[in-house]
Amino acid sequence: MAEAASAPSPSRAVTGDSEFDRDTAVVRREPGVYDIDLSAGWTILGAVNGGYLLAVLGRALGDALPHPDPFTVSAHYLTASRPGRAVIRTETVRTGRTLSTGQASLFQYDDEGNEVERIRVLASYGDLAGLPDDVRTTAKPPAIPPYEQCFGPADGPDPLKGVSAITDRLLLKLDPATVGWAIGQPSGKGEMRAWFGLADGRDADPLSLLLAVDALPPTAFEMGLKGWVPTVELTTHIRHRPAPGPLRVAITTRNLAGGFLEEDAEVWDSEERLVAQSRQLARVRLA
Amino acid sequence: MAEAASAPSPSRAVTGDSEFDRDTAVVRREPGVYDIDLSAGWTILGAVNGGYLLAVLGRALGDALPHPDPFTVSAHYLTASRPGRAVIRTETVRTGRTLSTGQASLFQYDDEGNEVERIRVLASYGDLAGLPDDVRTTAKPPAIPPYEQCFGPADGPDPLKGVSAITDRLLLKLDPATVGWAIGQPSGKGEMRAWFGLADGRDADPLSLLLAVDALPPTAFEMGLKGWVPTVELTTHIRHRPAPGPLRVAITTRNLAGGFLEEDAEVWDSEERLVAQSRQLARVRLA
């Protein structure tokens, strides 16, 4: 808790009444169908962040399924989402005692008003509060310097500064060891680490973990690659309800080949608990 | 290639005419709908192996989609499959230039003849032959002793011996360092490593990689846990077409908590190429 305690405590927004909650709110049109206006506040260079989209879909499924918490969410990204009107269509695939499985697709509209599918997910939900306390984790929290020694968008030159609306909504402080890309000196390693929180102080929960796994700069930047790194598929396992306080996110890439790479993310909470694991397959432009 | 060269070369079955090809053959009933008789030859203690099911679904999608090779396949396991009649219903979700995305569900039948969904997958397909040769992999092949120093089902006592039909169809040789569970001396580490091939000598291909990622004993055994470890979700990335010769599969578990664990698998081919990466979320009975 020591490191986390050194993090700032902004005026704390309450879960349920925060930017993140308002911008992921879905409106039930009919059973299993939800409307939402995708916020421009979670874009990176104009593109809607994939983790924000995942949280929106996760929220719809949390309403549609009998279990409250995402345990494993597999998302395939089809076309780039834009801020604005979208509809989410869910299907309950199976309902079990401890797990239920659902599917959800997010659609937007083309110039003729036809629905265009942006992202489709398969997810299994359960109740995190109902899990036994047994922990035999051998993984270790990432070695990230104390919060005040890490770098946020305001601390660095462009492109770290003000390139994306989402940076105003996140408390993102990058490990100095993985920030070289921002000053033209990438480390060459497939690593990205940061302290992560919501700017308005809203505590983390399983939905915001879906945002956290896809909110850091791409590891490709530290490997000397530039440009967009579109996600093809992203699967996230939520393993425990996060404690209050900033999260630590560590992302590693071990296999950059054939124009694709994987990004493995771990999210640790302030009580040294591994609360989420994710892996995505993404495309890169080879420099 | 040195280690791989020491592996036996059985009478080689040709791809397209092998046990694996015959038992994964799907018959198109109508566009996008396929029938199959799930073979009892790929069962473990009576349950149909999840990797075999994945290969069956992958084969159906390879026929239904315009691209030949699975790049990323996300599977959610709903109910336990049994040997026998099944139908696979596929949907083409999106067709792109380099990637196409599809969905497939495998159904069997209850006593009244109603369809019961066993497994649903979302998958993005492409053309592995069309990828650039660029490789910047920092991952290293697993340190597995030479083939002849590893242990197969015939080398050990029960339960390694003859518990499962699938063992007769695989060339599975476990690293002595991860075989302690079989003699009541688990290492306590979440690791499982093996040489992997098909018993009739059929070379590996992207479809058999879908089998390889879920064909080893569960890491839970080496962590001192017993009993069934049902897969909730399994996502596999196929990164390169495997070269002829035996594969090396290394599986690690870092987070056993709350009655669930992840299994990360890497599959390496005889040319030291990381050809597949997978992660699954599975449930365990805590000892």
Give the tens place of pLDDT for each residue, A244-287.
999 999 999 999 999 999 999 999 999 999 999 999 999 998 75
Residue ranges of chain B with per-residue pLDDT less than 70: 1-11, 156-163, 287
In chain A, the percentage of residues whose pLDDT exceeds 90 is 83
* Residue of chain A nearest B121, judged by CA positions: A122
Q: How much is the pLDDT for B6?
A: 47
Helical segments of A168-248, H only: 206-212, 219-222
Measured between beta carbons, the chain A residues lying within 8 angstroms of B134 are 256-259, 286
Q: How much is the pLDDT for B4?
A: 45
Coil, strand or helix at B263: strand
Contact A138, B257 (CB under 8 A): no
Q: How confident is the model at residue A27 (pLDDT cuts 50, 70, 90)?
A: very high
In a domain, A8, yes or no: no
Measured between beta carbons, the chain B residues lying within 8 angstroms of A122 are 74, 76, 120-122, 233
A190 touches chain B (CB under 8 A): yes
Contact A270, A263 (CB under 8 A): no
CA distance A148 to chain B (A): 29
Q: How much is the pLDDT for A287?
A: 58
In a domain, B137, yes or no: no
Which helix or strand (DSSP H or E) is residue A171 part of? strand A170-174
In a domain, A146, yes or no: yes
How far, CA to CA in Å, does B221 sit from each of A175, B12, B178, B204? 37, 32, 9, 27
Q: How much is the pLDDT for B155?
A: 81
Check residues A236 and B7 and name the one with the higher pLDDT.
A236
B239 touches chain A (CB under 8 A): yes
In a domain, A7, yes or no: no
In a domain, B189, yes or no: yes
B122 touches chain A (CB under 8 A): yes
Q: Which domain holds residue B182?
A: 19-128+142-283
> What's the pLDDT tens digit per position in A96-138?
999 999 999 999 999 999 999 999 999 999 999 999 988 999 9
> What's the pLDDT tens digit per position in A154-176?
786 655 445 678 989 999 999 99
Q: How much is the pLDDT for B128?
A: 98
**Nearest Cα to Cα of residue A70 among A215, A238, A235, A213:** A238
Closest partner residue to B134 (CB to CB) among A137, A258, A277 is: A258
> What's the pLDDT tens digit per position in A170-224?
999 999 999 999 999 999 999 999 999 999 999 999 999 999 999 999 999 999 9
Q: How much is the pLDDT for B5?
A: 43
Q: How much is the pLDDT for B158?
A: 58
> What's the pLDDT tens digit per position in B182-238?
999 999 999 999 999 999 999 999 999 999 999 999 999 999 998 889 999 999 999
Domain count, chain A: 1
**Hey, are the CB atoms on B136 and A74 less than 8 Å from each other?**
no
Closest partner residue to A232 (CB to CB) among B76, B99, B286 is: B99
- The residues, any chain, with a CB within 8 Å of residue A200's CB and separated by 6 or more, are A10, A11, A12, A13, A18, A19, A20, A169
In a domain, A200, yes or no: yes
* Mean pLDDT, chain A, whole residue set: 93
B139 touches chain A (CB under 8 A): yes
Q: How much is the pLDDT for B28?
A: 98
Which of B233, B261, B272 to probe the A interface (max A CBs under 10 A)? B233
Which helix or strand (DSSP H or E) is residue A235 part of? strand A231-238
Measured between beta carbons, the chain B residues lying within 8 angstroms of A79 are 94
pTM of the model: 0.94
Q: What is the CATH number of the domain that holds A241?
A: 2.40.160.210
Q: How much is the pLDDT for A2?
A: 40
Measured between beta carbons, the chain B residues lying within 8 angstroms of A100 are none
In a domain, A134, yes or no: no
Closest partner residue to B259 (CB to CB) among A134, A137, A262 is: A134
Measured between beta carbons, the chain B residues lying within 8 angstroms of A258 are 128, 131-135, 239-240
**Hey, are the CB atoms on B257 and A137 less than 8 Å from each other?**
yes
ipTM (interface pTM) = 0.94
| Cα–Cα distance measured from residue B287 to residue B282, given in angstroms and rounded to the nearest whole number | 15
In a domain, A137, yes or no: no
